[in-house]
Amino acid sequence: MTKRINKHIPVMLNNIKQYIPDDRKINVIDATFGGGGYSKFILNRYDVNKLIAIDRDDSVKIYAKKLEKNFPKTFKLLIGRFSKIDELVFQFKDKIFFDLIIYDLGLSSNQLEDPKRGFSFDYSGPLDMNMGFSNISALNVINDFSEKEISDILFNYGQERYAKKIAKTIIKKRKIIPINTTKQLQDIIKSCVPYSKKVKINPATRSFQAIRIYVNDELNELKKSLEKAENLLSDKGRIIVVSFQSLEDKIVKDYFNRKSGKKWRSSRHYPELVEKGPITLKNLTNKPIRPDIEEINLNSRCRSAKLRVAEKLVFEERL
């Protein structure tokens, strides 16, 4: 039986619509263009002056062609890492501020469904996982890194409780034959993780996630981007973030809380903001918004999604 695939479905779109300004002409950055779902929706439904889409993966250009044709003066796709969001946007002669900057931090369907990219354990392919602009691949991590380095990556970025056992087995197996494919890696992980009826996800999920995050430096990319994105917002401009795993969500939560004047328990992600700094944002979602059961049934990929939104205070309101 062929597995049913959900293609290019914008996650939590009905929730996000509530935070898109509809009372004026808007400038937008789609910081994670992917399959173009959010950009397409916004361009067709709202009065848009400029929409700049960013993606580090140049394979997304195919999804931008129709939008470039239909909205030649409004839409522009830029290839690059969103940690350089300011540099990418400043390519334009006219400096503008943005009413909306949106992030969807999940993998796009075209990345997951392409075996050659090595992101998914559902397909056998080469160990790659490079989203673009990365200096290493999953192949380097698995075949060149030490046992401790691999164990630390699996534990710190995937919260994998069997990280040490998996790392030890990887070292043992690669001495016999190089580990070159996603199937080889998945089989190793499955042999290390005890089967449990209570755990519904694939045993390789956490490890694959951890390696991907490390290869693409995703957490540092997000942190850098949020700091720069705030400076690109107009007064009452909004940052919208959809995250899919707890480490990303924690970074977004911490940043929004601190910049809105709320203390948090840990300063791990933003040690430079331990001391109370200027209050420049209003946190519009004190708790993350989760997808409803109807959306989860239509698109299983969104089951772990969390939506957070913050709004830039007007100058007179900032402390």
pLDDT on residue 269: 56
Question: Are the beta carbons of 54 and 80 closer than 8 angstroms?
Answer: yes
pLDDT on residue 98: 97
DSSP character at residue 24: S
Centre a 10 Å sphere on the Cβ of residue 47 and count the other Cβ atoms it contains: 10
Task: Report angle CA 196, 199, 205 to the nearest 5 degrees.
Answer: 115
pLDDT on residue 200: 76
pLDDT on residue 114: 86
pLDDT on residue 52: 97
Q: Please state the pTM of the whole predicted model.
A: 0.90
CA distance 27 to 287: 27
- Taking CA atoms, 273 is separated from 100, 126, 220, in Å, by 24, 41, 16
| Intervals of the chain under pLDDT 50 | 1-6, 266
Domain architecture of the chain: domains with CATH: 13-110+218-317 (3.40.50.150), 135-216 (1.10.150.170)
